[in-house]
């Protein structure tokens, strides 16, 4: 049943897309883009501490997938998780406050960018440990099934993380027990400074699905329509009880591995070329204008709204109080 | 009072808690069809079904990780580690995920997981099936570490662990499973974080836990005949540690010995000695004594294992030297 992975194409036309859905794609992608651009800027200005990894250039993947999820569905994300968190519906102000290490942040300033979570929208956590999330997500999927619910859990991971043994253990367990979970590999070509092909046994990570008896599917991760439609079918099936699946989204990490990365391992030209030809947001704009399903004014309106929202989040985070040292021991034990 | 084995006591705890709360379930290797290596799960799947008493793949990383994830999504998992020695396989899931989630996410979600970990020397099981690793985990903020010495405490502490909203590691010595002891028939809970003065004495405080605590009671009887009165404190929980009970006892007896089956270097005894040195050194009339295993892996051959093992004689010898 599970042969080589299937490659999904972009829909031939988007004329039948609901206007609100199109708007929401653009709004979410732009929200992520502005949010991340702000993070870069504020980090380099010394306002944001710690380690931050941005999702610029990968917005279509998280957006296309999350649009298919209900608010009670779960996601488990990674060190590069801002985009997923936003797409799952997290409030920008509290999210930004957390990244600034402020008290009103989701984690009261105890987590930061790499350890952010918002359980109120089903975001079970980022993970500072690469590949640390698979097994947790598998457990969440197990719990939803034991509780008789029809929730779906999605776990995101990078091409680098696909080489962790935790992937194998979770994929086997999920498949052996037919759990309602979607494994989403965001293959952005880079694992930190290493081109994934130099350290990974296969060209397509979705090939590995066969070994677990689950379907493997490949999609252009920079095409929000293709991601959305492919994920919709997979998530519908999983919700109905088909068991797990692996979706590989081919994308590209436009930013450095972390903000401030000198990127000695690749040329600016390479990155600029991809950004010019394959930026998911420009591609969306071109396509909706081309097929005349949205107007330039509509796009601009959304942009404006989103810019304002992100600016407000930054202002909120800047003004927010820091945690008091007396909170150090809070929440260690219940 | 009726007497039952340690294994039966833990089985009763599981049965009572699974009956009380539908979100409690247990998973691990060879627990459902086989009933557990020590019979500690026998009959549970027949009563609660194979979904709530789950045989897992041999996949410690995923078992513990899935336990954590299931806890985040509303269940109260009990995870059996088969042998404590295998905890190294899933260390990240224990100390980076399970232990930290509540704190690093600002208290948004509790992680009510219990890891049951059979540990200690038995049947010459040797280097990779005999260790006592509890000290590793008292170094990790966010975990509770429980380690009973007898059937009654095992039952009461396991029930408390399952009801606790924090992650709890429950170390159970393999040689204790067949030990019988009095266990009340009516329901009770044993508090986590409370040590117990099991035997009162006036000359020396002997702190221990798990199987070794029973070794200490024997040593105390031997010393009693020689006129040394030993107060035996069963720690029962090593994190959070019950400092007060230890300090009060030391203030009274003026001497401290700590005994455990785990390797002495960097062991629980080191922490307790440091606490007493920091907070009660003025009470001490003799240097602190620690008895623990030599700094080697657990050997296989009988004479070597015997040389490695803590015996009542070794404990008594060490204490005599304090006088
Ligand atoms: C277990 C572990 N090993 C190494 C690291 C350091 N590290 C952080 S991100 C990263 C690269 C991850 O690459 P990939 O999974 O492809 O995700 P991407 O960063 O490309 O989104 C590495 C090596 C880590 N955080 N955790």
A86-104: buried (b, 16+ CB within 10 Å) or exposed (e) per residue?
bbbebbbbbbbbbbbbbbb
Would you state the pLDDT for residue A140?
A: 98
Residue A332: partners with Cβ closer than 8 Å, 6 or more residues away? B102, B103, B141, B142
Give the closest of A124, A127, A173 to B72, CB-based: A124
Mean pLDDT value across residues B137-158: 98
Which CATH number does B3-182 carry? Answer: 3.40.50.970
Answer whether A160 touches B (CB < 8 Å).
no
CA distances from B117 to A111, B86, B87, B122, B232 (A): 30, 9, 8, 14, 25
Helix boundaries (H) for A217-325: 224-240, 268-278, 280-290, 296-319
Average pLDDT, chain B: 98
HEC string of chain B equals: CCEEEHHHHHHHHHHHHHHHCCCEEEEECCCCCCCCCCCCCCCHHHHHCCCCEEECCCCHHHHHHHHHHHHHCCCEEEEECCCHHHHHHHHHHHHHHHCCHHHHCCCCCCCCCEEEEEECCCCCCCCCCCCCCHHHHHCCCCCEEECCCCHHHHHHHHHHHHHCCCCEEEEEEHHHCCCEEECCCCCCCCCCCCCEEEECCCCEEEEECHHHHHHHHHHHHHHHHCCCCEEEEECCEEECCCHHHHHHHHHHHCCEEEEEEEECCCCHHHHHHHHHHHHHHHHCCCCCEEEEECCCCCCCCHHHHHHHCCCHHHHHHHHHCCC
Give the closest of B65, B73, B166 to A334, CB-based: B166
d(CA B156, CA B236): 11
Restricting to B residues 139-178, those with a Cβ less than 8 Å away from any Cβ of A are: 141-142, 144, 164-166
pLDDT in tens, A186-239: 999 999 999 999 999 999 999 999 999 999 999 999 999 999 999 999 999 999
Answer whether A317 touches B (CB < 8 Å).
no
Report yes or no: B117 and B81 within 8 Å, Cβ to Cβ. Answer: yes
Tell which atom from ligand 1 comes closest to the C-alpha of A161: 15
Contacts with B73 from chain A: Cβ below 8 Å: 74, 124, 139-140, 143-144, 147
Question: Is the backbone peptide bond immediately before B240 cis, with ω within 30 degrees of 0?
Answer: yes
pLDDT in tens, B100-115: 999 999 999 999 999 9
Q: Structurally, how many domains does chain A consist of?
A: 1
Q: Is there a domain that residue A328 lies in?
A: no
Answer whether B120 touches A (CB < 8 Å).
no
Report yes or no: A106 and A118 within 8 Å, Cβ to Cβ. Answer: yes
Measured torsion, CA atoms of residues A280, A285, A288, A294, in degrees rounded to the nearest 10? 140
In this structure, chain A runs to a length of 334
* Residues with C-beta less than 6 Å from any ligand 1 atom: A 53, 79-80, 128-131, 158-161, 188, 190-192, 253, 257
Return the sign of the alpha-carbon dihedral for residues A269, A270, A276, A279: negative
Average pLDDT, chain A: 97
Q: Is there a domain that residue A166 lies in?
A: yes
pTM for the predicted model, two decimal places: 0.97
Task: Give distance in angstroms: CA of A276 to centre of ligand 1.
Answer: 26
Q: Is there a domain that residue A325 lies in?
A: no
pLDDT in tens, B287-306: 999 999 999 999 999 999 99
β partners of residue B117? B171
Contacts with B142 from chain A: Cβ below 8 Å: 332-333
**What six digits make up the tokens of A318?**
């800047």
Q: Can B3-182 and B196-320 be said to share one CATH topology?
A: yes
Contacts with B106 from chain A: Cβ below 8 Å: 105-111, 331
Mean pLDDT value across residues A10-38: 97
In DSSP notation, A103-130 reads TTSTTTTSS-GGG--BGGGTB----SST
Task: Give distance in angstroms: CA of A246 to centre of ligand 1.
Answer: 19
pLDDT tops 80 at residue A1: no
CB contact under 8 A, B165 and A334: yes
Mean pLDDT value across residues B196-208: 98
Q: How many CB atoms lie within 10 A of CB A290?
A: 9
Residue A147: partners with Cβ closer than 8 Å, 6 or more residues away? B23, B73, B74, B75
Would you state the pLDDT for residue B174?
A: 98
Distance of CA A49 to the CA centre of its chain: 22
Task: Give distance in angstroms: CA of A152 to centre of ligand 1.
Answer: 25
Nearest residue (by CA) to ligand 1, atom 5, is A130
Distance of CA A148 to the CA centre of its chain: 27
Give the closest of A105, A140, A333 to B69, CB-based: A140
**What six digits make up the tokens of A319?**
């003004």
Task: Give distance in angstroms: CA of A193 to centre of ligand 1.
Answer: 10
Q: Is there a domain that residue A11 lies in?
A: no
Would you state the pLDDT for residue A2?
A: 59
- What percent of chain A is modeled with pLDDT above 90? 99
Pocket-testing residue among A57, A192, A271, ligand 1, by greatest number of atoms within 8 A of Cβ: A192
Phi, psi of B13 (to 5 degrees): -60, -45
In DSSP notation, A246-273 reads EEEEE----S-SSTT---TTS-HHHHHH
pLDDT tops 60 at residue A91: yes
Query: In this structure, which topology does domain B196-320 adopt according to CATH?
Result: Rossmann fold (3.40.50)
How many Å is the Cα radius of gyration of chain B? 19
Distance of CA B134 to the CA centre of its chain: 7
pLDDT tops 90 at residue A3: no
Q: Is B82 a catalytic residue?
A: no
Q: Is there a domain that residue A187 lies in?
A: yes
Q: Which domain holds residue A219?
A: 21-320
Task: Give distance in angstroms: CA of A135 to centre of ligand 1.
Answer: 17
Would you state the pLDDT for residue A198?
A: 96
**What six digits make up the tokens of B270?**
């080191």
- What percent of chain B is modeled with pLDDT above 90? 100
Contacts with B166 from chain A: Cβ below 8 Å: 333-334
**CATH assignment at residue A122:** 3.40.50.970
Answer whether B92 touches A (CB < 8 Å).
yes
Mean pLDDT value across residues B148-161: 98
d(CA B221, CA B58): 44
Domain ranges of chain B: 3-182, 196-320
Would you state the pLDDT for residue A130?
A: 98
In this structure, chain B runs to a length of 323
Nearest residue (by CA) to ligand 1, atom 13, is A191
Q: Is there a domain that residue A330 lies in?
A: no
Report yes or no: B39 and B7 within 8 Å, Cβ to Cβ. Answer: yes
């Amino acid at each position: 049943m599970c042969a080589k992975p299937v490659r999904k194409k972009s829909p031939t036309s988007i004329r039948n897309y609901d206007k609100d859905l199109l708007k929401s794609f653009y709004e979410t992608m732009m929200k992520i883009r502005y949010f991340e651009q702000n993070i870069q800027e504020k980090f380099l200005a010394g306002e944001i501490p710690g380690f931050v990894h941005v999702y610029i250039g990968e917005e279509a993947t998280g957006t296309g997938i999350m649009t298919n999820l209900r608010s009670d569905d779960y996601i488990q994300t990674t060190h590069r998780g801002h985009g997923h968190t936003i797409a799952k519906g997290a409030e920008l102000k509290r999210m930004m406050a957390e990244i600034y290490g402020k008290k009103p942040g989701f984690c009261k300033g105890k987590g930061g960018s790499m350890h952010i979570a918002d359980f109120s929208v089903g975001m079970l956590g980022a993970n500072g440990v690469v590949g640390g999330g698979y097994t947790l997500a598998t457990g969440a999927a197990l719990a939803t099934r034991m509780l008789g619910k029809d929730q779906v859990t999605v776990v995101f991971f990078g091409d680098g993380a696909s080489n962790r043994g935790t992937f194998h253990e979770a994929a086997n367990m999920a498949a052996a027990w037919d759990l309602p979970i979607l494994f989403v590999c965001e293959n952005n070509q880079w694992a930190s400074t290493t081109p994934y092909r130099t350290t990974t046994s296969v060209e397509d990570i979705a090939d590995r699905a066969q070994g677990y008896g689950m379907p493997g599917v490949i999609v252009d991760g920079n095409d929000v329509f293709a991601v959305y439609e492919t994920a919709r079918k997979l998530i519908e099936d999983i919700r109905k009880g088909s068991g797990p699946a692996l979706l590989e989204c081919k994308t590209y990490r436009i930013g450095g591995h972390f903000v401030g990365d000198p990127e000695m391992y690749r040329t600016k030209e390479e990155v600029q070329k991809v950004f010019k030809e394959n930026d998911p947001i420009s591609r969306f704009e071109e396509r909706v204008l081309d097929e005349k399903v949205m107007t330039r004014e509509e796009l601009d309106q959304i942009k404006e709204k989103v810019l304002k929202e992100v600016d407000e989040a930054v202002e909120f985070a800047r003004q927010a109080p820091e945690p008091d040292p007396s909170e150090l021991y809070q929440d260690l034990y219940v | 009072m009726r007497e039952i084995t340690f294994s039966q006591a833990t089985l009763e705890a599981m049965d009572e808690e699974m009956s009380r709360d539908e979100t409690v379930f247990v998973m691990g290797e060879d627990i459902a069809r086989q009933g557990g290596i020590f019979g500690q799960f026998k009959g549970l799947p027949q009563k609660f079904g194979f979904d709530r008493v789950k045989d897992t793949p041999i996949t410690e990383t995923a078992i513990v990780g899935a336990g954590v994830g299931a806890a985040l999504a509303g269940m109260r998992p009990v995870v059996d580690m088969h042998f404590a020695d295998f905890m190294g396989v899933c260390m990240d899931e224990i100390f980076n995920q399970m232990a930290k989630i509540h704190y690093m996410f600002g208290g948004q979600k509790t992680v009510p997981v219990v890891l049951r970990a059979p540990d200690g020397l038995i049947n010459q099981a040797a280097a990779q099936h005999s260790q006592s690793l509890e000290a590793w985990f008292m170094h990790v903020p966010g975990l509770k570490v429980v380690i009973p010495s007898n059937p009654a405490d095992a039952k009461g502490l396991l029930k408390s662990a399952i009801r606790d909203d924090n992650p709890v590691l429950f170390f159970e010595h393999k040689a204790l499973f067949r030990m019988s002891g009095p266990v009340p028939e009516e329901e009770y809970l044993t508090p986590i974080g409370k040590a117990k003065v099991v035997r009162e004495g006036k000359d020396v405080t002997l702190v221990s836990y798990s199987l070794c605590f029973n070794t200490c009671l024997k040593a105390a009887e031997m010393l009693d005949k020689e006129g040394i009165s030993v107060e035996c404190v069963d720690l029962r929980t090593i994190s959070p540690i019950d400092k007060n009970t230890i300090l009060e006892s030391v203030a009274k007896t003026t001497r401290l010995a700590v005994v455990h089956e785990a390797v002495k270097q960097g062991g629980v005894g080191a922490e307790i000695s440091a606490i007493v040195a920091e907070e009660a050194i003025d009470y001490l009339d003799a240097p602190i004594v620690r008895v623990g295993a030599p700094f080697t892996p657990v050997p296989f051959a009988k004479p070597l294992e015997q040389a490695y093992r803590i015996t009542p004689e070794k404990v008594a010898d060490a204490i005599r030297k304090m006088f």
